[in-house]
Structure 1
Amino acid sequence: MSGCTSDGCGCPSASISSPELLGSGESHVVYRIENMDCPTEEALIRDKLGRLPGVAELEFNLVQRTLAVTHRLPSPEPLVEALAAIGMQAVRDTLSPAGQTTVLGIAKMDCPTEEGLIRGKLIGMPGVVELDFNLVQRTLTLQHAPEALPSILAALKSLGLEAQVQGGAVGGDVSAPADPVKTNWWPMLVSGVSATASEIVYWWNGGFHWAVAALALLAIFSGGLATYKKGFIALRNRNLNMNALMSIAVTGAMLIGQWPEAAMVMFLFALAEIIEAKSLDRARNAIRGLMDLAPETATVRQPDGSWEEVPAKSVALDTVVRVKPGERIALDGEIVAGSSTVNQAPITGESLPVEKSENDPVFAGTINESGSFEYRVTALAANTTLARIIHAVEAAQGSRAPTQRFVDQFARVYTPAVFAVALATALIPPLAFGSTWIDAIYKALVLLVVACPCALVISTPVTIVSGLAAAARKGILIKGGVYLEGGRKLAVLALDKTGTITHGKPEQTDFALLVGDEQSVRRLAAGLATRSDHPVSQAIARAALEADLIPDVADFAAIPGRGVCGVIDSQTYHLGNHRLIAELGLTTSTLEKRLDKLERQGKTAVMLATQGEVLGLFAVADTVKENSRQAVAELHALGVRTLMLTGDNPHTAEAIAGQVGIDEARGNQLPEEKLETVESLLDQTGTVGMVGDGINDAPALARADIGFAMGAAGTDTAIETADVALMDDDLRKLPAFLRLSRTTAGILTQNIAFALGIKAVFIALTFTGHATMWMAVFADMGASLLVVFNGLRLLRK
């Protein structure tokens, strides 16, 4: 039993320290320092400012060249003077903390090539603070100075990328992914026919003919004009991306007379680009499908009692909405009239419909099956459970998984390295060994094609997004690729008992009167129990003989991990567990025997006591969820050790753990002790997970490598703070998450191995003289398509 603490009634209480507020004499200032761009300057500044009296905290951002200082100085002038003394010219950044966040939709940004180009253009621009890319949704979230937006849009336009402002990143409506660019297939048809005709004429004529060059140029400019434009922009911005490399390779092939090959290379590249974009749309549609779950309109009761269909976005809180059989529910709410069965699979992944009646919650996007009912709206369209799920999935897509970060870093080194090798291949053999220039340049052009890291880079985000979307469909909300990928390493899983392994709705099973009158003792216990929201207290309250006789309680206080106390009729009473009674010094050998017997039966003993004696003994038992044993068995089969942490006594913990097959149980665990247990596991084992459903589990959930929140549907805090949120109370989603994580990791490994293997093979074939340019393009873009399709397999799971 837990809640707020107080010592007004003389109860034991836990001290809670309030965090120090910024307003208590502290100020915050941000400086932009143009000549601070490496750890050397950071160390110099940290040493100088750290010795200034009144400087509380320094936060460096070397990428943005900003320094945030929290201080207690009368004015920030000493900071500027100290920085100037070490040669650092600091300019006050008026952006922070009053900056602006804008979401831009960029229809032509759908692969890392465009991301790299945009990042190189915008990073370092005045007023640009942070960039957050979401390639699947084709959005760029910017943190910037308000006056910087026009120049940002102009910079994007100079890259050939039109951007549309979609709104703020936080607190706005859920916006659909940017619509894909419509493909005009006629230029591609002309390009393919012309490239093929150029090859035929070349072989028919036995060599070069003016018609070969004419057909090749027609193929190149009908199918590859967009590639040339993008390549020119990239080179102008000193960016060796895929379009720049392909433009150089095709131009080089034409200059050395390889017209048919140049035409075929450009056609195959442009065709593969289109097919790849269409394939990526499948991953985007997985998120678009979530957005389409909630209907755009709702039938709302008007002030005069009539019903009118209105847009769901315009419906206010506490409005009454009517739902007919077969309709999708438009908004979150609470039923006020009627009953039905509702298919909640889109939110929770439950396989069977759920019975709903008055006072039961309903969620946007779920399907009303049999009956008709009316419900009161409890969340606006932008804040429904479905909207929060979509926001969480979108945010998770933007985060980089470990493998993706490795691939991005590798690609940044790989492309310039291969370009340097290609340049050396073109120059060194003819100059040093007398090789022909044509052969050397041709090999260099083949290497330029191989230098495109597209297959490698695109494989990870598609796989991660597919995994996140597949999990969301099953009612598993994963808050980032780092958790999806990291779940495969889970070695030990700590689980809370109440509400996680058990239903969390215990019932009173036993009562024993120790002192006084039975009705009076029950009445006093009910008075304290009704003031607590703990399930054990609620069980005692439900078992009260006469609800109308429940007394008033003064100075009520909850004692975390122990129980509650309060004053009734000028007398202080305690209602709590074995630990509380022991701390009050009221245990006896006879009482200990009775408690031991109950606890060995898996029951929780609760006692009513005054300051001097125990008046009554209550026993409460919780029932184990039907799926808990199966879930634990599946976890063990996956090689995960299980540990149960509960505030109940050790005997009850052992009894419940034995029922479901958990490896180890620890009782009498206060919130801080659960945290200590998780920390000790982190020191001893690999990846540690924690599963819980209550506020008292929050510290341990936050400290674990992966925190799992149970029954998160409709719960703002769980969705926003958990690493993984299980939308219903089915523990079997835990092994499902682990299997998905392991499958995702396997596909990532396959894609990386395949992409790098293709590169290695063609680099070797290039130096042996067996690789041609069109073969390199076909293999490279074919590899891109294969890794995309391999990643999309997760959507079928």
Structure 2
Amino acid sequence: MKKEYDIINLHCGGCASKIQYELDRLENLKDVNVDFYTKKLKFTLINNQDESELLQKLNEIADKVEPGTYFQSTSSQEKFTEENDHNHVHSHGHSHSGELGSKLDLIILTVGVTLFVVGLTLPKSLQKDIILIIAYGLSGYDILFNALKNIKRGKVLDENFLMGIATVGALGLGDFGEAAGVMIFYKIGEFFQDMAVNNSKKSIEKLMSIKPEFANLKNKNGTVETVNPSKVNIGDILIVKPGEKVPLDGTVVVGSTTLDKSALTGESVPVVSEVGDEVLSGSINIDGTIEIKVTRLYSDSTVNKIIEMVQSAGSKKAHAEKFITKFARYYTPIVVFLAVSIGLGLPLLYDGNFKLWFSRALIFLVISCPCALVLSVPLTFFSSIGKGSKDGILIKGGNYLERLKNIDTVVFDKTGTLTKGSFKVTKIECLSGTERELLEYAKAGEFYSNHPIGKAILEYGDVNIFEWEIQGHNEKAGYGVNALYNGKEILVGSKRFLEGHDIEIELDESFGTVVYIAVDSKLIGRIFVEDEIKESSKKTIEELMGQGISVYMLTGDNKKTGLHMANLLGIDADKICTNLLPQDKVSKLEEIKLKSKKGTIFVGDGINDAPVLAMADVGISMGKIGSDIAIESSDIVLMNDDPYKVIEALELGKKNNQVVLENVGFALGVKVVVMVLGVLGIANLWLAIFADVGVSVLAVLNASKILKQKIVK
């Protein structure tokens, strides 16, 4: 049973990882995800348990790690305002917006800063020391108070305790100015760190503003009622005015307009929509009033699917995120151990100068918090997934994003992926009877078809078929259909399908997609249909091959058609796999994966592609014309069906990996350098503060820059 709770008063990335660790240890929970940025707790409950007892146990764990933090259901959260959250008394040094957000806290800190500046200007005297001590108390009273409270709870390695020990130690050594300055700049650094994190969160939340707030429902009596989109049923008529969002997926039945779909697909060019055109929820109506007939409930709508996929992406963590979470548990104890060893061990073994080595040990305490890593690495993945969503690339988890950095093979389906999937009949060849009769039997066979080829035949010509005339219908996916129509047995499908029914076909294999038609075991003709290659397909394949990536194409077409397509797209002839049935695609992908040394992507769109999408290292589906099952089976969804988005996804994966390595290298590098300089007596507490909060701010800003960068130049 899947559970989801809101996290209240969680203001520390490090604490989020500690809560995650504690909850992972509970036997009754699995797939636990504590998301610091969305403030959501998600997990799977293995055995049934009383809701109130479970919540109480979870809240006890959260409060022990970060006092004041608790979980509650989303419905309960709606009863609270943001003001309630901000007014809550936090007891952790990282509650930046809670502590520094109130006017009183800002006033106290401002007074402390003023006294600190005044104290620095005075000559050395008792008065100067008193002013600096007061400045220290005003700026750090809450940290000292929380440190004492947490000691009673058994927490002696949190940021409050470590900062308290470091600055009190500086006071004990008579460095009043350094103690006050370090505390003040620590608080200011935390404030800017919190601002950077919040700005990144707001940027990502802005991407989720596509959710429609209302729908104008047209009643049967002609009146219009404003309702919640979730209350609208399939078949209802909605009115969408200029400037409003399309609330649900539907078909235009009255009017025409221009729609902005950039929030859904990343396409900046508005699209004209007229009667009969499909419109997607979340699109913005620019200039005309239209009426649409709803085709999907809100729970199944495009906009809701996008929001759900992006919000749940954080639950599938990458190896880098898991490593950082695990690393953070050991980093602080190790650094504190080093501090104790330097402060007590070195003077005992070396020169007996406890004051000197104690002052140097304080530097280790200040930089013992792993927040720069705990904040920046998950935020990098969070920002990358948000950036992808903005560009019409929905990535379902950090683990899939991470896999994109090691890809050497991309396998494409043909129809609807590299081609538009909009077939048209180009030629009808009769062997007996008339063209009209051939088309009638073909339409009877394809009457229930959802395949693009079947739809093309149904839309061609003026021959009409009535459903009651079809007495039987059986479709074999990838082969064809046999039906009983007006007492005659109809076979419509591929050459292989008809030959499987003992019908000999001596006609030459022709270029293009060919549908054969037989009536009462006699071949009466064939219909030729053609598909159009997408504008960006050739460019996509050229760039992939230019990066040293092997490109394959799988298709059910005959060999002649496949080789012609290979020539048009620039794919090597030996990498075109033809005459494939759905089960053949699975075995073929297995063969290709064995040749791959890194990782394999499969890009497809249809129901028949679902097994291969799930089997690939990364499955990418087309979200616009792709089937629901293909979208569910894939790891990445391309909302505008543009194959070039595969290039963008790969570049996003590389950029994400680059920023992760930058942040990890920068954060650890600076901390190690400052530690070494501290032992040598070159660094002081001021530099240690930079190595702590300064590095955190820079790492967070570096992670959030992905949102604003153009990935493919």
TM-score normalized with structure 2 length: 0.88
Name the structure 2 match of 1:57: none
TM-aligned CA distance change 1:216 to 1:673, over 3 Å:
farther
Name the structure 2 match of 1:744: 656
TM-aligned CA distance change 1:113 to 1:493, over 3 Å:
same
Single out whichever of 690-699 and 360-369 deviates more from structure 2: 360-369
Name the structure 2 match of 1:193: 114
TM-aligned CA distance change 1:245 to 1:680, over 3 Å:
farther
Deviation of the 1:216 alpha carbon: 2.6
Name the structure 2 match of 1:25: none
TM-aligned CA distance change 1:515 to 1:129, over 3 Å:
closer
Deviation per residue, 1:729-752 (Å, 9 max, x gap)? 211211111111111111111111
Q: 2:336 aligns with which of 407, 412, 419?
A: 419
Deviation per residue, 1:107-141 (Å, 9 max, x gap)? x3243222144346666679766642111122333
Deviation per residue, 1:711-764 (Å, 9 max, x gap)? 348965455432100011211211111111111111111111111110121121
Deviation per residue, 1:183-205 (Å, 9 max, x gap)? 5422332232333344444xx21
Provide the C-alpha distance between the structure 1 equivalents of 2:486 and 2:220, rounded to a whole number of angstroms. 48
Name the structure 1 match of 2:645: 733
Name the structure 2 match of 1:275: 192
Which letter maps to 2:169?
Answer: G
TM-aligned CA distance change 1:352 to 1:416, over 3 Å:
same
Provide the C-alpha distance between the structure 1 equivalents of 2:492 and 2:29, rounded to a whole number of angstroms. 58
In the alignment, is residue 617 of structure 1 matched against residue 526 of structure 2?
yes
- Equivalent pair of 1:294/1:331 in contact (CA under 8 Å): no
Deviation of the 1:678 alpha carbon: 1.7
Deviation of the 1:623 alpha carbon: 1.2
TM-aligned CA distance change 1:301 to 1:515, over 3 Å:
closer
Provide the C-alpha distance between the structure 2 equivalents of 1:467 and 1:794, rounded to a whole number of angstroms. 6
Deviation per residue, 1:46-89 (Å, 9 max, x gap)? xxxxxxxxxxxxxxxxxxxxxxxxxxxxxxxxxxxxxxxxxxxx
Which letter maps to 1:642?
Answer: V
Provide the C-alpha distance between the structure 2 equivalents of 1:320 and 1:625, rounded to a whole number of angstroms. 33
Provide the C-alpha distance between the structure 2 equivalents of 1:121 and 1:485, rounded to a whole number of angstroms. 25
Provide the C-alpha distance between the structure 2 equivalents of 1:372 and 1:519, rounded to a whole number of angstroms. 41
Provide the C-alpha distance between the structure 1 equivalents of 2:372 and 2:234, rounded to a whole number of angstroms. 48
Provide the C-alpha distance between the structure 2 equivalents of 1:704 and 1:665, rounded to a whole number of angstroms. 18
Q: 2:345 aligns with which of 410, 428, 453?
A: 428
Single out whichever of 514-523 and 338-347 deviates more from structure 2: 514-523
Provide the C-alpha distance between the structure 2 equivalents of 1:298 and 1:310, rounded to a whole number of angstroms. 5
Q: 1:340 aligns with which of 236, 246, 257?
A: 257
Name the structure 2 match of 1:38: none
TM-aligned CA distance change 1:578 to 1:115, over 3 Å:
same
Deviation per residue, 1:338-358 (Å, 9 max, x gap)? 221211111111222222223
Provide the C-alpha distance between the structure 1 equivalents of 2:314 and 2:467, rounded to a whole number of angstroms. 53
Name the structure 2 match of 1:605: 514
Deviation of the 1:409 alpha carbon: 2.4
Q: What are the equivalent positions in structure 2 for 1:207-606 lying under 5 Å apart?
A: 209=126, 211-223=128-140, 225-226=142-143, 228-229=145-146, 232-233=149-150, 236-238=153-155, 240-302=157-219, 304-312=221-229, 314-315=231-232, 317-379=234-296, 381=298, 383-544=300-461, 546-548=463-465, 552-587=469-504, 590-591=506-507, 594-595=508-509, 598-599=510-511, 603-606=512-515
Provide the C-alpha distance between the structure 2 equivalents of 1:610 and 1:176, rounded to a whole number of angstroms. 70
In the alignment, is residue 657 of structure 1 matched against residue 558 of structure 2?
no
- Equivalent pair of 1:220/1:266 in contact (CA under 8 Å): no
Consecutive unaligned residues of structure 1, counting only runs of 5 or more, are 1-98
Name the structure 1 match of 2:704: 792
What is the DSSP-based 3-state SS (H/G/I as helix, E as strand, rest coil) of the residue aligned with 2:661? helix
What is the DSSP-based 3-state SS (H/G/I as helix, E as strand, rest coil) of the residue aligned with 2:405? helix
Provide the C-alpha distance between the structure 2 equivalents of 1:384 and 1:230, rounded to a whole number of angstroms. 49
Deviation of the 1:569 alpha carbon: 4.2
Provide the C-alpha distance between the structure 2 equivalents of 1:569 and 1:331, rounded to a whole number of angstroms. 40
Identity %: 30
Deviation of the 1:327 alpha carbon: 2.5
TM-aligned CA distance change 1:605 to 1:740, over 3 Å:
same
TM-aligned CA distance change 1:378 to 1:643, over 3 Å:
same
Single out whichever of 321-330 and 721-730 deviates more from structure 2: 321-330
Which letter maps to 1:451?
Answer: S
Provide the C-alpha distance between the structure 2 equivalents of 1:536 and 1:713, rounded to a whole number of angstroms. 14
Provide the C-alpha distance between the structure 1 equivalents of 2:320 and 2:459, rounded to a whole number of angstroms. 53
TM-aligned CA distance change 1:313 to 1:535, over 3 Å:
closer
- Equivalent pair of 1:317/1:378 in contact (CA under 8 Å): yes
Provide the C-alpha distance between the structure 1 equivalents of 2:430 and 2:307, rounded to a whole number of angstroms. 54
Provide the C-alpha distance between the structure 2 equivalents of 1:492 and 1:121, rounded to a whole number of angstroms. 40
Provide the C-alpha distance between the structure 2 equivalents of 1:380 and 1:200, rounded to a whole number of angstroms. 69
TM-aligned CA distance change 1:563 to 1:317, over 3 Å:
closer
Deviation of the 1:225 alpha carbon: 1.0
Provide the C-alpha distance between the structure 1 equivalents of 2:288 and 2:375, rounded to a whole number of angstroms. 47
Provide the C-alpha distance between the structure 1 equivalents of 2:383 and 2:323, rounded to a whole number of angstroms. 19
Provide the C-alpha distance between the structure 2 equivalents of 1:728 and 1:134, rounded to a whole number of angstroms. 29
Provide the C-alpha distance between the structure 2 equivalents of 1:243 and 1:543, rounded to a whole number of angstroms. 75
TM-aligned CA distance change 1:162 to 1:420, over 3 Å:
closer
Name the structure 2 match of 1:769: 681
TM-aligned CA distance change 1:516 to 1:313, over 3 Å:
closer
TM-aligned CA distance change 1:514 to 1:295, over 3 Å:
closer
Deviation of the 1:442 alpha carbon: 1.2
Deviation of the 1:276 alpha carbon: 0.8
Provide the C-alpha distance between the structure 1 equivalents of 2:628 and 2:450, rounded to a whole number of angstroms. 19
In the alignment, is residue 724 of structure 1 matched against residue 636 of structure 2?
yes
- Equivalent pair of 1:228/1:247 in contact (CA under 8 Å): no
Deviation per residue, 1:377-404 (Å, 9 max, x gap)? 4455555322321221121123322222
Which letter maps to 2:111?
Answer: V
Which letter maps to 2:388?
Answer: A
Provide the C-alpha distance between the structure 2 equivalents of 1:319 and 1:230, rounded to a whole number of angstroms. 60
In the alignment, is residue 161 of structure 1 matched against residue 72 of structure 2?
no
Which letter maps to 2:657?
Answer: A
Which letter maps to 1:165?
Answer: Q
Which letter maps to 1:633?
Answer: E
In the alignment, is residue 705 of structure 1 matched against residue 602 of structure 2?
no
- Equivalent pair of 2:429/2:526 in contact (CA under 8 Å): yes
What is the DSSP-based 3-state SS (H/G/I as helix, E as strand, rest coil) of the residue aligned with 1:729? coil
Deviation per residue, 1:469-520 (Å, 9 max, x gap)? 1111111100111122221212111111111111112112222222345443
Name the structure 1 match of 2:591: 680
Single out whichever of 127-136 and 257-266 deviates more from structure 2: 127-136
User: How many residue pairs end up in the alignment?
Assistant: 683
Q: 2:7 aligns with which of 100, 105, 110?
A: 105
Deviation of the 1:533 alpha carbon: 2.0
Name the structure 2 match of 1:147: 52
TM-aligned CA distance change 1:514 to 1:124, over 3 Å:
closer
Name the structure 2 match of 1:43: none
Q: 1:645 aligns with which of 511, 533, 554?
A: 554
What is the DSSP-based 3-state SS (H/G/I as helix, E as strand, rest coil) of the residue aligned with 1:488? coil
What is the DSSP-based 3-state SS (H/G/I as helix, E as strand, rest coil) of the residue aligned with 1:389? helix
Provide the C-alpha distance between the structure 1 equivalents of 2:384 and 2:619, rounded to a whole number of angstroms. 18
Q: 1:135 aligns with which of 22, 31, 36?
A: 36
Provide the C-alpha distance between the structure 2 equivalents of 1:301 and 1:216, rounded to a whole number of angstroms. 70
Consecutive unaligned residues of structure 2, counting only runs of 5 or more, are 87-96
Deviation per residue, 1:626-657 (Å, 9 max, x gap)? 22122222322333221111111122122122
Name the structure 1 match of 2:577: 666
Deviation of the 1:431 alpha carbon: 1.8
What is the DSSP-based 3-state SS (H/G/I as helix, E as strand, rest coil) of the residue aligned with 2:497? helix
Deviation of the 1:535 alpha carbon: 1.8
Deviation of the 1:705 alpha carbon: 0.6
Provide the C-alpha distance between the structure 2 equivalents of 1:576 and 1:115, rounded to a whole number of angstroms. 57
